[in-house]
Structure 1
């Protein structure tokens, strides 16, 4: 039996999974690392922590499974998107990595918009948001110019780790699409955007496919990790692209709903010329010459976690959600909007905040818990509706993440989205997608689709209840009114959030 390893480099930890040729997960291991917030709005990590965590995770994975290193055909990566790593000509990191959730770059976003105008959406297909990489590079350009002058390459998090493992500089298209520097349709770095901000193209790493080999392990890395120097290392992809692979989103109309700390709706796309005017993200897929449309709810699972920790800290999530299925749809007139840290899709608004509307003395904790689930799901439906408006018919959605762990919530998603919800037998998310890239890159399958057929199995299906779907359709219209009704009020309240 042969095996591959998928490595998911997250914001709080790195996770590695060992998978056999049937897609069975033989073992997994996670290593946590710290997050630094030196100033309000800043979010940074030490890239060396990622490398140490990855090597420790690999070593313990190999020790824990007892699999011979000679049986590992290859490894690949999934990585947190957008984070900026600058290295000099010796490969030395010049400053802490600025992460996807670092929000110091509002001024740089406005500079991008005023400089590029409509060209930004024509070329990069995405709006200038604080999380993306180009605003971070411009912040360094304006505030730490001496460091940018020393930079040899800019890398994204997983690409830096892969460089340390192989000595090779590269970036795949799915991750490069989140930089605002890629011409997404033509799959080339945009010389026009680079020139507009006086950035040399030499700063940009070479572009590769997600399943492309980027070399083998350096001898000293192989020794520390417990693998062989001949182990193939494949480029990997952005976490959402790999999550899509791990959920089998590999065909026209295939759609995924992932509910973790944030929530993501992602749909497969082949039309490279599709331009949704920045209403949702448009990125390159891990599959060659494919794309995906993606909408984001910033506080999806985070809203539920906030509610539990604030109002039911003594309960487990299972205890908190026990009984929500006995509360009628609509939570007896109680509506929640999950804007507790601002919102991304369809309202890129840092000032908007959440609401409970319609509270009365008859509402219990279970009513509030159900309203939170409904509000998160309504927010995700806004992204689904944008995808539908592009001409896609969405009748089936694969659910992954925390939203796939509770049956009442799965049925709620079916009713609110008015689509069948599919639950997977084994859900490893982005780590499985990374393993699939290694499997395909190693020649196990003739296509990623064939790999998905072998690796991914359904465990359940939830179909919409017509009466519930009709009721939720009415409530969704009310939900959509809340943003406009509270936007100005929240802007005024922002002055009191100090």
Structure 2
């Protein structure tokens, strides 16, 4: 028996999945690690915590097999971190991750200096979420780190270095950084030079399924993997999640509510009409693209509510189910760390609107569940605006585990949705890259056909669809009404 191991570096934990040639899951592992928030707007992690998490989760996943049966390893990782390392590959500081928003001033400077170039080459406006913004911040505020750095690596690329001893970057992950030319599928020397960033910090690029190294003796001793096991370049967590959900052709849309909430679509080409609305990225399938719509703190909004006000997820969703559709006029804006789609705004913040003495804890929870999905509906509207077909909606991650949240998704989106039975989609996508790169599967179509398992279809209710259509008109008026209020210059 030959297997493919996929390892996903998430925001809160590392997850590993082991797939056999039939596409069945035969091993799983997980290890958690903390976030560090030393100042407002700063969100960091210790890369050594990532490495320990990888080692622990890999050992769990392969515990019941001979390590020599692992034909290939693939990595997925949280996008838009910035790991500054010296010539020995040692990190020089804790890593600002995608949630870190300290760099708005650098983004404003970059927009003035290279805004047109960023729009032309990346189809996005630079925001604090992007890796390039973090590089600019380090250059300006941590000059010793910047000067001592030999490489700037993305999170999963640093982990791959720890596994193989080889420095490399990878196309799908790089494509979200704002330092990447989406048309040429290479780092953008023009952008980096315009912003006075050292082009030499950015390693050479490989396609996602390309084998770029092999497990070293040291890594074998710590992970339990066999020395010499091939390792593919891998992908960013969102591109790998797209692959793990089987979004490999036009018309299939994947939605998920994890820490963030997202909607993703396959594309053959880029479309400049999506500028400042959706995030473009390179699909893990070489030569293809994908679009991402996002709400930064989708599932994190419910987690925040749970931690601050108490109750288990089951208790909270049961309370929400007992409340009328629409939470009796209560709305929630899930912008706890800024707004994403369709108009990114790092200054926007969440809140409840319409709160009355008659509202209960259950109303608050239902408003949170509905607000997250209202925010996701923006993404489907953006897909339609650029002519992307929407034939099938697939829902996954934590938000699909709740019956009430599944139904809310179908009703607010106004379409039947199909639940993805497969969990840990980013790790699964990484395993599929390993399976194709290691020749376990003949191609991506075969890999997805064997691996992606679909469950029940959730039917939308016409009466609730019509109610939510009217409610969404009110919801989408909230940000324009508050936009100036969020502006720091008005405070």
Q: Structures share a fold, TM > 0.5?
A: yes
Distance 1:371 1:275, change over 3 A: same
In structure 1, what is the Cα distance between the partners aligned to 2:361 and 2:137? 45
User: Is 1:448 matched up with 2:444?
Assistant: yes
Indicate which of 345, 348, 360 corresponds to 1:349.
345
The equivalent of 2:170 in structure 1 is 172
- What TM-score results when the alignment is normalised by the length of structure 1? 0.94
In structure 2, what is the Cα distance between the partners aligned to 1:393 and 1:300? 24
What SS does structure 2 have at the residue aligned with 1:254? strand
Tell me which moved more, 398-407 or 419-428.
419-428
Distance 1:418 1:5, change over 3 A: same
Unaligned runs of 5+ in 1: none
Residue pairs, 1:18-167, within 5 angstroms: 18-63=18-63, 66-167=64-165
Deviation at 1:380, TM superposition (A): 0.7
Q: Say if 1:351 and 1:494, in contact at 8 Å, map to a contact too.
A: no
Distance 1:105 1:26, change over 3 A: same
In structure 2, what is the Cα distance between the partners aligned to 1:78 and 1:41? 25
Deviation at 1:143, TM superposition (A): 2.3
Distance 1:122 1:402, change over 3 A: same
Please list the CA deviations of residues 351-403 of structure 1 after superposition, one character each: whole Å capped at 9, or x if unmatched: 33333333344433333322221111111101111111111232421111121
Residue pairs, 1:7-406, within 5 angstroms: 7-63=7-63, 66-311=64-309, 313=310, 315-322=311-318, 324-406=320-402
Distance 1:362 1:52, change over 3 A: closer
In structure 2, what is the Cα distance between the partners aligned to 1:46 and 1:211? 27
Unaligned runs of 5+ in 2: none
Divergent runs of 4+, >4 A: 489-495
In structure 2, what is the Cα distance between the partners aligned to 1:488 and 1:115? 24
Q: Say if 2:259 and 2:297, in contact at 8 Å, map to a contact too.
A: yes
Q: Say if 1:395 and 1:420, in contact at 8 Å, map to a contact too.
A: no
In structure 1, what is the Cα distance between the partners aligned to 2:365 and 2:141? 44
Tell me which moved more, 165-174 or 139-148.
139-148
In structure 1, what is the Cα distance between the partners aligned to 2:489 and 2:301? 20
The equivalent of 1:421 in structure 2 is 417
- What TM-score results when the alignment is normalised by the length of structure 2? 0.95
RMSD of aligned alpha carbons: 2.0
The equivalent of 1:462 in structure 2 is 458
Distance 1:475 1:29, change over 3 A: same
Q: Say if 2:252 and 2:391, in contact at 8 Å, map to a contact too.
A: no
What SS does structure 2 have at the residue aligned with 1:332? helix
Q: Say if 1:185 and 1:273, in contact at 8 Å, map to a contact too.
A: no
The equivalent of 2:429 in structure 1 is 433
What SS does structure 2 have at the residue aligned with 1:118? helix
Tell me which moved more, 70-79 or 271-280.
271-280
Q: Say if 1:377 and 1:416, in contact at 8 Å, map to a contact too.
A: yes
In structure 2, what is the Cα distance between the partners aligned to 1:198 and 1:483? 35
What SS does structure 1 have at the residue aligned with 2:395? strand
Distance 1:190 1:281, change over 3 A: same
**Corresponding pairs, count:** 491
